Structure 1
Amino acid sequence: MPVQVGDYSWQQTEAAVFLSLPLRGVSVRDADVFCAENYLKVNFPPFLFEVFLYAPIDDASSKAKIGNDTVIFTLYKKEVAMWEMLSMPGVDKETKQKIREKSILQAQQTAQEAEEAKAKARREDQKYALTVMMKIEEDERKKIEDMKENERRKATKELEVWRECQKKDEEQKPIPREEKLQQGKQTKEERKQLKHKTVTRNSTFSHHATKGRNSEDIFAEALQESSIPAPRSVGSIKINFTPRVFPTALRESQVAEEEEWLHKQAEARRAMNTDIPEFCDLKEEEKNPDWLKEKGNKLFATENYLAAINAYNLAIRLNNKIPLLYLNRAACHLKLKNLHKAIEDSSKALELLTPPVKDNANARMKAHVRRGTAFCQLELYVEGLQDYEAALKIDPANEIVQHDAEKIRSIIQGTEVNSCD
């Protein structure tokens, strides 16, 4: 028997409803999401969530996003109005069954209409492709016929010119009767040979015109083969490699910069083995974490974020149980775009801000907002939205956090492309 899920949160505007459903281990592959006009269901065995909506929605434009153990819905209302509640009040089992059956029938009808439209579009595409192919073949056939006709006219013209020349020569040169008879015989034979050459030429052209581009390719290949040079003589090239400590070639490296890098690495290793609080030359106030925290706050106010981080680092080494040190250092990392470090410090601050009481509510809200901002700048918008919603649970009247959460929802649903600041 499925386990009914009742743990969810929802918010609304006059035009849309935003529903967040936490499901541990949920994934796109295993979850079955069904959305209709008045009915919404998520089946992720053994969990089952269904709600009979208070008013109709536009199921075609509504969207769902699955990720980070959460299903987030954006449901667009058909009528612009504020709902009194998410689900329809006072629905008995018989009415629920009718709504389920009606929703399934509507979904099947919509799917069938979409399939028919897709098949029609596919047929239109095939028809268009066939028309284009026929036109291309017709143009190619016409081109070949024109080439044959031009070649025939050219051959006919050459024959007529040759005949005119022969005629003029006969008129200008007087010859004896016997030679004339002999020349007449030769002229008949030449005419037969010319006629044979003309027929052969037309036949050859017809053969080449039928083959079209293939004949041109054959002639091009023959020409290319005839122009291939002879193979080169066999030889060997000896290559010597210069031994190098660094993986790059000597021509691509600068020895001075490499030595400086090695020196800095050695200095960094020596610094990591040094315990700063044990330095005997520290001033008395520098051993006070609260004084260091105030010093870091002043440096943050002057936008000297690196110096502020150094002050917070020293304070944390002196006392690593003060949550505000991690929270303030997270703000510095956020300004410097050290996003992973900002997430790490915000999570550490939330870990120390326990139990959740009224005195630490403001600090917890700031930690959620800073971690959510870092997630958004890493384009992890689902995780960022969860932190902003957690901040709104602590301070629901904060208009700035409400505006940023609305902006993240728009990004998740694809209606806005700008990332969070």
Structure 2
Amino acid sequence: MPIVLKEYSWHQNTENVLLKVKTGYIQPSAKSCTVLITSQYLKFSLPPFIFELFLSEKIKVDDVKVTYGSNHVTFTLPKEDTGKEWTTIETVGLDKEKKQKWRSDAELEQHEWHKNRDEAKQKHNEKLIKKNVEHQIEEKEANRLRIERLKKEIVRQALEDTLQWKQTLPADNQVAKSVEKIKSVEVAVEAVQEIFEEETDPEEPFEFSVAFTPRVFPTPKRESHKPMEDKWKLQREEAMKLVGCGPEVVEKAEPGWLYDKARELVQDRKYQGAAALASHALGACPSHAGLRLVLAVAYLHLGHWYQAIECSSRAIEQEGIEAEIKAKLIVVRGAALLRSGREQEGKEEIKIGLNKCKDVDDKLLAHLLKDLKFD
């Protein structure tokens, strides 16, 4: 069950509305957040938190800006009606049916927006390709005309030189030699023409195939966290041995026995051993909600509040969990929220969990609520 974020602030100017949503102890980023924004609906999820807002006025979706801070997310929402002052940012008075309809309309609008954006992008790319082809054709035509002019200029210059040379011919005894020179000039002109004609011929298409050598690159192991994980495993095994439950005993034991043993350790205030036992047992039984309940309680007593919130939230979201254990997990998560400074949300969750819990006198909960001094 996701936790709904309710703490936000907003202000406006003539063009934009600035919305700031606090995310508590989790630092948001573009990778960890999923954002959905339409003309009158805003939603983002940051597990285990979620936030949604039904806007009272329309905004320009294309110009929205999202900024991620250390413990907040800021949205810059451009107004569709520039200059209009918003009296409130959220539409009030919506029942569940209307809110569901807004959500469905927002998903359809988001789908249509992505479709139109992709079509516009495709048309823009096609236009660029067409423009590049036209530019290449123009360059080729200009080059052909330039070569044609150059060829004509060379032929003209050669003919002029030939005429001038004929006018300066000597007596009859050198006529034969001069005729041979004229023929050699004409042959040279024809050779120049053939060269230019060869240069202006269209290029012949050419195809070639390339074969790449297959290579296998081994994926390296994680280097930054391995020493820390090995140290944590060693500490966990030592804690389990201190309470008389080594890894070899846990691997052969039944899940029910492990659950009862972990509860007993919590009641004896051996929280480190209980956390180590439950964490090791969850490696073999990851879907055992009872072990997650004991682990969350042990984390809470050890002062690891955020780990207790994450552990209980993961168990609550499991399918097929017993209603009694789910209610107790809600109480534990509320206690963790209360310890982490979010008193209002923590007290609300504790009350909800206690109302759903049938075995309120459970030693696990009684021991926890006594330490919290919660009636």
User: TM-score, with normalisation over the residues of structure 1?
Assistant: 0.42
Asked which structure has the greater RCO (Cα within 8 Å, sep 6+), the reply is: 2
Higher Cα radius of gyration: 1
User: TM-score, with normalisation over the residues of structure 2?
Assistant: 0.47
